[in-house]
Amino acid sequence: MKRLSKTALVFLATGVSAFSSVKNVIYFIGDGLGPSQRQITEYYKTEVLGQDGKLAMNSMPALGITTTHAADTLITDSAAAGTALATGFKTNNGMISMLPSGEKLKSLTDIAKNKDMKTGIITSTRLTHATPAVFVTTNSSRANEAEMAEDFVKANIDFYAGGGYRFFVPKTGEFKSSRKDEKNVVKDLENNGYKTFIGEGSSKNLLSYTPKSNEKVFAALTNSHLPYEIDRVKDNSTPSLAELTRKGIEVLSKENNKGFFLMVEGGRIDHASHAQDAVGTIMDTIAFDDAINVALEFYKNDPENTLIVVAADHETGGMGLGYGNNYSLNLEALKNIKLSVEDKLQKAYKGNKEEYFSYLDKELGLNNLTVVEKESIEKAIKAEDNKDTTAINNSYGGYAPTAISVAHIISQRAGLQWTSFAHTATQVPLSATGKTSENFVGFKDNTDVAKEIANSMGGKL
Ligand SMILES: [Zn+2]
């Protein structure tokens, strides 16, 4: 006869499970947060900012590694990877919580709702973007954002915060819409018990909002994504990911004995790495880690009932910490960079070469360009002036050539190099702390992360 473990004997003797489910789960997903992104951020904080560089996510007791591949390709997109992390099933790139066959999948928010837990979704991207969407709805294509926005009403999530009001407001009206119809999803949300916060102007109201029992929150603060952290800190026109996380926890934990499930996405790490923007990547990773620290404050008050998991959907950009034949990084070269490649640097070249070089000097401290660096910028200017689409797509990933050529110079001066304008197939780190965190140790498939979280909540996907 097979010997039974002590736990199993207790189970048999008492007739109840020795395992009690976790009450509060806070699930962080760093979009594009590969091992290099995590490590360079620690080095930058230490060497450039002169701070204790250790990231909260790198200090957790449980550490693992996960695969990222999709059902149909070894290089996943955020829809397939998000589906794996939310539902425990692999699917094809582009699909939202749906199997390749079209079968709809249950996600962790469904498990939480079945347990009468409150639920929350926070992201720095549009709320209808792939990673948040996989926790809210199902769809055959991530591109159907207007359609998915309507599903936010019936999903009945208690707290939504992020960007992308353009899919929630009608075609004509106060706010700029990307809908083709006059459907007012914001009104539908309000009619279903949501307090809504729309547009940058609502940021302060959201942060000063005191949750009322049974009131749900929907905040879409920008037309598209929230700003890159590197740009946001200049005027604080929108809250940081940490501030949104603090408000989310406040709303979800108020007068609530059943616990909550909250997903927080650091969504713009990915966008910065697509644009091969080293400092943009680092600043959004810091913002993500700051949000994790807010969750850790909550955890410290209730460690017996709380689980925090930090996962990533995939790596982006093939960020390499090392370049050429050097055994050194020179992070000082990143010190003067205070703007994003995609949103700011891309708009800087306006057709005048001399003006552009003086902009680079003034804004980025690039006043000592080598002959080779200058040549690479001139080549980019030529491609941009000539609207050379082949060069723009092949050599500059579809971005403005001038911006990418400068991004490369900045990276290479720091000793960094990128292999891709897309995602890569590399494994990504996984961290956890709190109740059941030991189940997140080891080499795991990305689908296992969702399954383990479901188990910890006492449910099954
Ligand atoms: Zn991406």
Nearest to 423 by CA among 454, 446, 391: 446
- Amino acid 248: pLDDT: 98
Q: What is the pLDDT averaged over residues 78-83?
A: 98
Domain identity same for 125 and 233: yes
Q: Whole domain around residue 176: which residue ranges?
A: 21-318+423-456
- Amino acid 17: pLDDT: 45
Task: Report whether pLDDT(142) > 80.
Answer: yes
- Any domain includes 7: no
> Given the DSSP bridges, would you call strands 216-220 and 194-198 parallel, antiparallel or unpaired?
parallel
Residue listed under structure tokens 């230490």: 46
Q: Tell me the backbone φ, ψ of residue 378, rounded to 5 degrees.
A: -65, -35
- Buried-exposed string 426-439: b where 16+ CB fall within 10 A, e elsewhere: bbbbbbbbbbbbeb
Domain identity same for 344 and 273: no
Q: What is the pLDDT averaged over residues 289-303?
A: 97
Domain identity same for 233 and 366: no
Domain identity same for 328 and 448: no
Instruction: Report the separation in Å between the CA atom of 361 and the middle of ligand 1, taken as the mean of its atom positions.
Output: 30
Domain identity same for 191 and 303: yes
Domain identity same for 330 and 289: no
Top-confidence residue, 13 or 330: 330
Task: Report whether pLDDT(9) > 50.
Answer: no
- Any domain includes 10: no
- Any domain includes 165: yes
Instruction: Report the separation in Å between the CA atom of 79 and the middle of ligand 1, taken as the mean of its atom positions.
Output: 10
Say which CATH number the domain at 280 has: 3.40.720.10
Instruction: Report the separation in Å between the CA atom of 331 and the middle of ligand 1, taken as the mean of its atom positions.
Output: 25
Token pair for residue 52?
């204790």
Instruction: Report the separation in Å between the CA atom of 424 and the middle of ligand 1, taken as the mean of its atom positions.
Output: 10
Instruction: Report the separation in Å between the CA atom of 182 and the middle of ligand 1, taken as the mean of its atom positions.
Output: 30
Task: Report whether pLDDT(1) > 80.
Answer: no
Q: What is the pLDDT averaged over residues 182-191?
A: 98
% residues pLDDT > 90 (the chain): 93
Domain identity same for 236 and 325: no
Task: Report whether pLDDT(160) > 80.
Answer: yes
- Amino acid 19: pLDDT: 64
Task: Report whether pLDDT(297) > 60.
Answer: yes
Domain identity same for 293 and 342: no
345-403 pLDDT, tens digit each: 999 999 999 999 999 999 999 989 999 999 999 999 999 999 999 999 999 999 999 99
> Given the DSSP bridges, would you call strands 24-30 and 306-312 parallel, antiparallel or unpaired?
parallel
Instruction: Report the separation in Å between the CA atom of 193 and the middle of ligand 1, taken as the mean of its atom positions.
Output: 33
Task: Report whether pLDDT(2) > 50.
Answer: no
Cα angle 395-398-401, degrees, rounded to a multiple of 5: 60
Contacts of 228 (CB under 8 A, 6+ apart): 268, 271, 272, 280, 283, 284, 340, 342, 343
Instruction: Report the separation in Å between the CA atom of 70 and the middle of ligand 1, taken as the mean of its atom positions.
Output: 14
Q: Are 312 and 423 in contact, with CB atoms under 8 Å apart?
A: no
Domain identity same for 187 and 327: no
Residue 417: count other Cβ atoms within 10 Å of its Cβ.
17
Instruction: Report the separation in Å between the CA atom of 398 and the middle of ligand 1, taken as the mean of its atom positions.
Output: 14
Instruction: Report the separation in Å between the CA atom of 5 and the middle of ligand 1, taken as the mean of its atom positions.
Output: 45
Nearest to 32 by CA among 280, 254, 247, 262: 280
Instruction: Report the separation in Å between the CA atom of 273 and the middle of ligand 1, taken as the mean of its atom positions.
Output: 8
Q: Are 159 and 122 in contact, with CB atoms under 8 Å apart?
A: yes
Radius of gyration of the chain (CA): 23
DSSP lists the bridge partners of residue 62 as 432
Residue listed under structure tokens 């009104």: 187
Say which CATH number the domain at 371 has: 1.10.60
Instruction: Report the separation in Å between the CA atom of 394 and the middle of ligand 1, taken as the mean of its atom positions.
Output: 18
Token pair for residue 358?
């003086």
Calpha distance 423→141 (Å, rounded): 19
- Any domain includes 13: no
Instruction: Report the separation in Å between the CA atom of 203 and the middle of ligand 1, taken as the mean of its atom positions.
Output: 26
Instruction: Report the separation in Å between the CA atom of 277 and the middle of ligand 1, taken as the mean of its atom positions.
Output: 13
- Any domain includes 2: no
Give Cα separations from 218 to 126, 221, 333, 436 (angstroms): 13, 10, 41, 31
Token pair for residue 261?
């499930």
- Amino acid 255: pLDDT: 85
What's the chain's average pLDDT?
95
- Any domain includes 327: yes
Domain identity same for 203 and 329: no
391-416 pLDDT, tens digit each: 999 999 999 999 999 999 999 999 99
Q: What is the pLDDT averaged over residues 6-23?
A: 56
Instruction: Report the separation in Å between the CA atom of 435 and the middle of ligand 1, taken as the mean of its atom positions.
Output: 31
Domain identity same for 285 and 434: yes
Residue listed under structure tokens 């700051």: 290
Domain identity same for 406 and 440: no
Instruction: Report the separation in Å between the CA atom of 95 and the middle of ligand 1, taken as the mean of its atom positions.
Output: 14
Quote the DSSP letter at residue 166.
G
Instruction: Report the separation in Å between the CA atom of 143 and the middle of ligand 1, taken as the mean of its atom positions.
Output: 14
Task: Report whether pLDDT(13) > 90.
Answer: no
Instruction: Report the separation in Å between the CA atom of 116 and the middle of ligand 1, taken as the mean of its atom positions.
Output: 33
- When divided into structural domains, the chain yields a total of 2
- Amino acid 394: pLDDT: 94
- Any domain includes 369: yes
- Amino acid 213: pLDDT: 76
Give me the count of residues in the chain: 461
| Amino acid symbol at 150 | E
Task: Report whether pLDDT(330) > 90.
Answer: yes
Task: Report whether pLDDT(15) > 50.
Answer: no
- Any domain includes 332: yes
**Neighbour-count burial of 65, counting CB atoms closer than 10 A to its CB (0-12 exposed, 13-18 middle, 19+ buried):** middle
Instruction: Report the separation in Å between the CA atom of 9 and the middle of ligand 1, taken as the mean of its atom positions.
Output: 48
